[in-house]
Amino acid sequence: MSAPPWQQVSQDEEEGSIEYSTKSQEATEPVSDWHEVKTEDGRVYYYDSISRKSVWEKPEELMNEFERKLSKLAWKEYTTADGKQYWYNVNTRESVWEIPEEFRKAIAEETLPKTKQTLPPAHHKQEARPEPYPESEAQSARPDREQATPSKDASSRKRAPNFVPSKEKRQRRGDHREEDFDTYEAAERAFFRFLDSFNVTPSWTWEKAVHELCTEKGYYVIKNPWERKCAFDAYIMNYLTEQSDREKNRILTLRKDFFGLLKSRNDIRSYTFWRTVKSLLADQPAFLAAPTEFERQLLFFEYRQKLKEDDEKQQKDNRKAAFDDFCVLLSKLELDPYTRWNTAQEKFESDPRYQKNPNMKNLSHLEALTAYESHIKQLERQYIMEKQRLKKEKYRTERKNRDAFRILLLRLRQEKKINLRTKWKEIFPLFKDDPRYLNMLGQPGSTPLDLFWDNIIELENDFREKRNVVLDCLQLLKLKVEEDSDISLFVQRVMQGLKENNMDESVTEDIVLEVIFRIKEKIAHRKADEKKADERRIRRKIDNLRSAIKYIEPPVPLTATYEEMRPVLSALPEFSAIDSEEYRAAAFDKYIRRQREKTTSEKPIRARRGYYDEAEDGTRGGYSSGARVYETKPSLDYDEDYPMKSDQHVGPSGPVQPSSRNDFNFLQSNAPPASGMDGESSEEGEIH
């Protein structure tokens, strides 16, 4: 029965001539110093004793050909927390539960017998799978590079020096024949017991172990030098781990007893000094259990820091409780969004709930102000939201009221109670007590009158669109509307004509009736305008006659009658321009009446200024008052109601000296021209 591969001895070793030369080391030892190590929880990672690097993934130096081939693939195999396998593609970042085809083909190429022959013994061990994370996350969970490792100086990181053991040692080593082990794990455990029997500690280097133990029985239980060195490193790491665990357990026990002692003392607070504690607990066993004063001091500082954190947490909880109670108190006070801080402060300080609450002592003024600002902002938000809600509700109510009143007006239009000629005062009694009208009163926006006029404008627009159709029908039927035409007959004939000629069917009787009404109104307005123009012409002729009567010489006496003066007036062309004798008499009577009124109003003025000297009036002209004489120019005696006041004409510059009293041609030539003969004079007065 042959020994396992890791226990097979080379031909040189059988002959007993092992030479640690540079050439033999390069042939038997790999360049890398990676070896497998387990954490406290059993996870496997890899540690390089030279570079002191540690990684979770297996280094390429420890991989065989098959593992290197799989590592070059994009798909990587991982395992979830519950042990289920999945594959992750590092290029596409895709995860699948089923094994990819590329990965399957790579495994199929390696047959099971070939795998058993080619894999080195180190790979028969159960390898730990990575964490069930993608590669990017698995690499971030590297173990700390600064974990406990055997301390080595610069010389220990160098390779073993080249030396040749003495012939005696070579002979003794050749005589040792170790027993064969079926598995590598059993050989590794035997090698660990061998190292432990010689009290190998982390202070040993591999070079020292080779030099001291290479001739001892049990050294060659692992035949491969590289695997033997990896086992030595694993032993050192396990030794350090056990030593660290023992130290941790000691510290935990010491901390528990020390903290229990400090908690039992009520005179130790977070502000107590080390020298005080040292004097108080100098004779306590738990205090003296620590081997050095430095450890005691560290444990005390840790406990005091814990007390400080507990005190700060308690104070924080008290302030938070006080803050919450204060916020509840503010919500119960009757505060509005515009309450000032000084007013609110007076209210809550005088409130019994604030005075009797012990938590309020832990509340600072700044925290109270912060809570007040937060509460006021919340009240402002609620106030604004309520105001906006009421505004929207009011807007909706007003819109509903307007829509309801529009429906009311539309119903009246359908009942033909509203048409183009309807007035507000006519339609108002129909809905003055209707709630739809009463709800519109007092609200902003469109008023009921505005909505009524909107309906009238709609009717007017509809009428203007269809008016030309009715006019075309009248022209087609050769119907002429007169002022005394029968409206109902015209409406009937137009509607029949529209139907016979296939005109706009949307034209209703109301539109036809309105067109005929407006035609008749237009005729009536035209006749009224003509009548007013005739009256203006007659009135101008009467005014011209009155103006001509003023300049008759001698002047017409105020006691004269129309019959007496008719022969004189008949010679005037203005008299002949008036056809009606009644209008001629009315012009003369109005002239006499105005002259009398003028004379009556001038008497008090003459009395104040003096007397009128008729003798000197012809020679000097003017009024005399005592010794002073006021020279005046002869004034023209125009009637105050003379037409065309804007075009007043100046009369003759001097007194008129007619050649004869009955020379009417002379009077006519000296009278001011009658203005407004073209029909544009004043419209003063009425024709009686």
In this prediction, residue 427 carries a pLDDT of 92
Q: pLDDT-based confidence at 179, cuts 50/70/90?
A: low
In this prediction, residue 627 carries a pLDDT of 37
CA within 13 Å, CB half, 458: 12
In this prediction, residue 66 carries a pLDDT of 79
In this prediction, residue 603 carries a pLDDT of 63
Model confidence at 149: pLDDT above 70:
no
- Site of tokens 């100046």: 650
| More reliable by pLDDT, 173 or 488 | 488
What's the angle, vertex CA 422, arms to CA 418 and CA 426, rounded to 5? 100
Distance CA 657, CA 670 (A): 10
Phi, psi of 44 (to 5 degrees): -100, 130
Model confidence at 43: pLDDT above 90:
no
363 SS3 class? coil
pLDDT digits (tens, 9 = 90+) for 64-115: 887 887 887 888 888 887 777 888 888 887 888 888 888 888 877 764 444 3
Task: Copy the structure tokens of residue 304.
Answer: 């005091």
Distance CA 135, CA 86 (A): 13
Percent of the chain with pLDDT over 70: 73
Model confidence at 469: pLDDT above 50:
yes
Interval 256-262 mean pLDDT: 89
CB atoms under 10 Å from CB of 114, counted, come to 11
In this prediction, residue 480 carries a pLDDT of 83
CA within 13 Å, CB half, 64: 13
Over the range 205-236, which residues count as b (16 or more CB within 10 Å of their CB) and which as e?
A: bbeebbeebbbeebbbbbbbbbbbbbbbbbbb
| More reliable by pLDDT, 71 or 542 | 542
Alpha-carbon distances, residue 184 vs 4, 65, 181, 188, 231 (angstroms)? 9, 20, 7, 6, 10
Distance CA 607, CA 521 (A): 59
Q: Which residue intervals of 198-264 are DSSP H helices?
A: 206-213, 225-263
Distance CA 363, CA 354 (A): 11
Q: Where are the domains of the chain?
A: 1-30+146-249, 53-144, 536-670
In this prediction, residue 163 carries a pLDDT of 38
Instruction: Look at residues 231, 237, 224, 233 and name the one whose alpha carbon lies nearest to residue 30.
Output: 224
pLDDT digits (tens, 9 = 90+) for 479-538: 888 877 788 888 888 888 888 887 777 788 888 888 888 888 888 899 999 999 999 999
Phi, psi of 235 (to 5 degrees): -60, -45
Model confidence at 601: pLDDT above 80:
yes
- Determine whether 69 is exposed, middle or buried from the number of CB atoms within 10 Å of its CB (0-12, 13-18, 19+): middle
Interval 190-210 mean pLDDT: 90
Q: Residue 342 in contact with residue 317, Cβ under 8 Å?
A: no
Q: How many residues are there in the chain?
A: 688
Q: 3-state SS of 409-422? A: HHHHHHCCCCCCCC
Alpha-carbon distances, residue 306 vs 109, 297, 300, 314 (angstroms)? 62, 14, 10, 12
The strand pairing partners of 625, in sequence order, are 628
Strands 44-48 and 34-38: what pairing? antiparallel
- Strands of 44-145 (E only): list them: 44-48, 53-55, 75-79, 85-89, 94-96
Q: pLDDT-based confidence at 148, cuts 50/70/90?
A: very low
Interval 15-42 mean pLDDT: 55
Alpha-carbon distances, residue 496 vs 27, 333, 463, 480, 502 (angstroms)? 127, 82, 19, 16, 10
Task: Copy the structure tokens of residue 32.
Answer: 């890398």
Distance CA 3, CA 1 (A): 7
Q: Residue 430 in contact with residue 412, Cβ under 8 Å?
A: yes
Interval 592-608 mean pLDDT: 77
Q: Residue 118 in contact with residue 65, Cβ under 8 Å?
A: yes
pLDDT digits (tens, 9 = 90+) for 265-289: 888 888 899 999 888 888 888 888 8
- H/E segment holding residue 623: strand 622-625
pLDDT digits (tens, 9 = 90+) for 211-221: 888 888 888 88
pLDDT digits (tens, 9 = 90+) for 622-666: 434 333 333 333 433 434 343 443 344 434 344 434 344 334 343
Distance CA 554, CA 547 (A): 15
Distance CA 646, CA 655 (A): 25
Question: What sign for the dihedral angle of Cα 397, 402, 404, 405?
Answer: positive
In this prediction, residue 234 carries a pLDDT of 92
Distance CA 299, CA 630 (A): 136
Q: Which of 219-228, 585-594, 616-625 is predicted with the least confidence, judged by mean pLDDT?
A: 616-625
Question: What sign for the dihedral angle of Cα 41, 44, 49, 51?
Answer: negative
Distance CA 81, CA 4 (A): 35
Percent of the chain with pLDDT over 90: 25
Phi, psi of 55 (to 5 degrees): -135, 155
Sheet with 53-55, edge to edge strand ranges: 34-38, 44-48, 53-55
pLDDT digits (tens, 9 = 90+) for 354-403: 888 888 888 888 999 999 999 999 999 999 999 999 999 999 999 999 99
Instruction: Look at residues 517, 514, 513 and name the one whose alpha carbon lies nearest to residue 525.
Output: 517
Model confidence at 542: pLDDT above 80:
yes
Alpha-carbon distances, residue 259 vs 247, 311, 578 (angstroms)? 18, 17, 140
One DSSP character per residue, 459-492 reads HHHHHHHHHHHHHHHHHHHT----TT--HHHHHH
pLDDT digits (tens, 9 = 90+) for 115-141: 344 434 433 333 333 333 333 333 333
Distance CA 446, CA 460 (A): 20
In this prediction, residue 401 carries a pLDDT of 94
- Site of tokens 């032993």: 235
Average pLDDT, the chain: 75
- H/E segment holding residue 344: helix 341-349
pLDDT digits (tens, 9 = 90+) for 414-443: 998 999 889 999 999 999 999 999 999 999
Q: Which of 44-48, 192-196, 376-380, 456-460 is predicted with the least confidence, judged by mean pLDDT?
A: 44-48
The strand pairing partners of 53, in sequence order, are 48
Distance CA 663, CA 160 (A): 170
Q: Residue 179 in contact with residue 187, Cβ under 8 Å?
A: no
